[in-house]
């Protein structure tokens, strides 16, 4: 979809009012929050859901028969149903609550990997993966004697699809790639990747950390086997997220952690495991945050993902227009299809210094390797400055970023 073809009709100033954190001064300047790929801000309704839960409903879920336990359980399970609809899962028990993308990937690597990988098997990831989609696979490869293969990424930050197809073979058991890159913003052709991987008999995990708040998708249409989401990157609280997995796969997989709720019956001789999704939700979960995530889903649904994407695409296009006229700035990540993330470097100036000087002007950006060190190595850099947008950002904020950068360059050069 060409998001620039759609004009955003959102009233951004009205939306901004729903985010109390935006209404503050940082270092004497109004906050300009452009670090949304790391975590985005929470609307009042999400914050209210957290306090309401603790003020009125706090109880442990599933096992209680008293009123509070029933209310908490109902609210927790409501989020599961909302998430099912949000991503288009076929069955509600395909939604497993985790701490977020990192835990979801570790769950699959550990549980699926331990059960089904053997020496000589291959796992394919891409060269633009977050460390959370590299290290869990390295751990299981080490344990099982499997091999990790990496799809090359070109100079503008796109996956080399031909090279990917060459890597695929009957040894490929898992393909794990991100839907959108956190350092470059590239939207990967995951539908094609999934179809090709399936032809080779591999299962596919999609890291959706940078997609869930920005891209419209349906897991059944994509036909991915696993899809991972972090709540805190989609206006929800930290410390929760989901693993979506196809029911037939999750049913075959052994539990990831042992403990309360994931059991049917425990004796010292043998334990039998609970049905999905509880088999993968050992221990008291992050009840309050899961409940508040429901409000984040509703917030996105009410605005409409297409509208959000259209607004963010305008911000990205405007950023590229502004920064590419500045001779000292080199943009990193200029793929054709992108979410609203723009990395850049300034020749001869360390990214940390730029970040600090922008912070002095109230502008929050991320600097560093963005947990994608191998990708930075490929570009021959230590890190970048990264501006990333959410629905509440404005063109005036992009202007402030550009103006801040101009002054920094003048000052330092
Ligand atoms: N993958 C990508 C692409 C990410 O951007 C992030 C967060 N920066 C993660 C994985 C890890 O997510 P979390 O820290 O929420 O587990």
| pLDDT per residue of the chain (413 residues) written in tens, 0 to 9 | 445 556 778 999 999 999 999 999 999 999 999 999 999 999 999 999 999 999 999 999 998 899 999 999 999 999 999 999 999 999 999 999 999 999 999 999 999 999 999 999 999 999 999 999 999 999 999 999 999 999 999 999 999 999 999 999 999 999 999 999 999 999 999 999 999 999 999 999 999 999 999 999 999 999 999 999 999 999 999 999 999 999 999 999 999 999 988 989 999 999 999 999 999 999 999 999 999 999 999 999 999 999 999 999 999 999 999 999 999 999 999 999 999 999 999 988 999 999 999 999 999 999 999 999 999 999 999 999 999 999 999 999 999 999 999 999 998 87
For residue 129, the ligand 1 atom closest to its alpha carbon is 3
Q: What is the CATH number of domain 12-36+305-412?
A: 3.90.1150.10
Residue with CA at minimum distance from ligand 1 atom 6: 209
Question: Torsion angle of alpha carbons 341, 347, 351, 356, nearest 10°?
Answer: -110
For residue 104, the ligand 1 atom closest to its alpha carbon is 16
pLDDT in tens, 106-163: 999 999 999 999 999 999 999 999 999 999 999 999 999 999 999 999 999 999 999 9
User: What is the per-residue pLDDT for 64?
Assistant: 81
User: What is the per-residue pLDDT for 9?
Assistant: 85
Alpha-helix runs per DSSP H in 283-394: 287-303, 305-323, 351-360, 373-379
In the chain, where are the structural domains located?
A: 12-36+305-412, 47-301
Burial degree of 305 (CB within 10 A; 0-12, 13-18, 19+): middle
For residue 38, the ligand 1 atom closest to its alpha carbon is 8
Question: Which amino acids bring their CB within 6 angstroms of ligand 1?
Answer: 100-102, 130, 132-133, 178, 182, 207, 209-210, 230, 371
User: What is the per-residue pLDDT for 3?
Assistant: 52
For residue 238, the ligand 1 atom closest to its alpha carbon is 15
Distance of CA 64 from the midpoint of ligand 1 (Å) = 34
Mutate to test the pocket of ligand 1, among 37, 97, 99, 101 (most ligand atoms within 8 A of CB): 101
For 178, phi then psi, to 5°, come to -85, 150
Mutate to test the pocket of ligand 1, among 207, 236, 239, 343 (most ligand atoms within 8 A of CB): 207
User: What is the per-residue pLDDT for 6?
Assistant: 62
Say which DSSP state 254 is in.
Answer: P
Would you tell me the crossing angle of helices 395-412 and 305-323 to the nearest 10 degrees? 30
DSSP H or E run through 139: helix 135-144
Sign of CA pseudo-dihedral 79, 85, 88, 92: positive
Distance of CA 96 from the midpoint of ligand 1 (Å) = 17
Distance of CA 140 from the midpoint of ligand 1 (Å) = 19
Other Cβ atoms within 10 Å of 141 Cβ, number: 19
CB 61 within 8 A of CB 69: yes
Active site residues: 371
Distance of CA 68 from the midpoint of ligand 1 (Å) = 33
Say which DSSP state 354 is in.
Answer: H
Fold: same for 12-36+305-412 and 47-301: no
User: What is the per-residue pLDDT for 4?
Assistant: 54
Burial degree of 7 (CB within 10 A; 0-12, 13-18, 19+): exposed
Distance of CA 209 from the midpoint of ligand 1 (Å) = 5
Which fold would CATH assign to domain 47-301?
A: 3.40.640
Mutate to test the pocket of ligand 1, among 230, 235, 386, 388 (most ligand atoms within 8 A of CB): 230
CB 243 within 8 A of CB 279: no
């Amino acid at each position: 979809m060409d998001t620039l073809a759609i004009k955003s009709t959102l009233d951004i100033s009205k939306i901004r009012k729903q985010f109390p954190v935006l209404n503050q001064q940082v270092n004497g300047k109004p906050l300009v929050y452009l670090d949304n790929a790391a975590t985005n801000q929470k609307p009042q309704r999400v914050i209210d859901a957290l306090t309401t839960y603790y003020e009125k409903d706090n109880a442990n879920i599933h096992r209680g028969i008293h009123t509070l336990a029933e209310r908490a359980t109902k609210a927790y399970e409501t989020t599961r149903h909302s998430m099912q609809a949000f991503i288009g899962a076929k069955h509600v028990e395909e939604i497993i609550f985790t701490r977020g993308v990192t835990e979801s990937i570790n769950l699959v690597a550990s549980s699926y990997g331990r059960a089904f990988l053997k020496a000589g098997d291959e796992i394919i990831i891409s060269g633009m993966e977050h460390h959370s989609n590299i290290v869990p696979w390295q751990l299981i490869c080490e344990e099982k004697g499997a091999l990790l293969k990496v799809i090359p990424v070109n100079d503008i930050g796109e996956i080399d699809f031909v090279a990917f197809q060459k890597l695929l073979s009957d040894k490929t058991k898992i393909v794990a790639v991100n839907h959108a890159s956190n350092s470059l913003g590239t939207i990967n052709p995951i539908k094609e990747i999934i179809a090709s991987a399936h032809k080779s008999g591999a299962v596919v995990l999609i890291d959706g950390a940078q997609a869930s708040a920005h891209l419209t998708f349906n897991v059944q249409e994509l036909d991915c086997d696993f899809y991972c989401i972090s709540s805190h990157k989609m206006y929800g609280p930290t410390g929760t997220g989901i693993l979506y997995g196809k029911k037939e796969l999750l049913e075959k997989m052994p539990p990831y952690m042992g403990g309360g709720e994931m059991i049917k019956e425990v004796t010292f001789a043998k334990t039998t495991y609970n049905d999905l999704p509880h088999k993968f939700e050992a221990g008291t979960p992050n009840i309050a945050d899961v409940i508040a995530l429901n409000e984040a889903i509703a917030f996105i649904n009410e605005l409409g993902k297409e509208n959000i994407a259209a607004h963010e695409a305008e911000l990205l296009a405007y950023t590229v227009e502004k920064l590419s006229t500045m001779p000292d700035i080199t943009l990193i990540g200029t793929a054709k299809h992108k979410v609203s993330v723009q990395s850049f470097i300034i020749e001869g100036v360390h990214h940390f210094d730029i970040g600090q000087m922008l912070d002095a002007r109230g502008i929050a950006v991320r600097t560093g390797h963005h947990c994608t060190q191998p990708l930075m190595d490929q570009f021959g850099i230590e890190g970048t400055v990264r501006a990333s947008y959410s629905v509440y950002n404005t063109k005036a904020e992009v202007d402030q970023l550009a103006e801040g950068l101009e002054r920094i360059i003048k000052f330092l050069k």
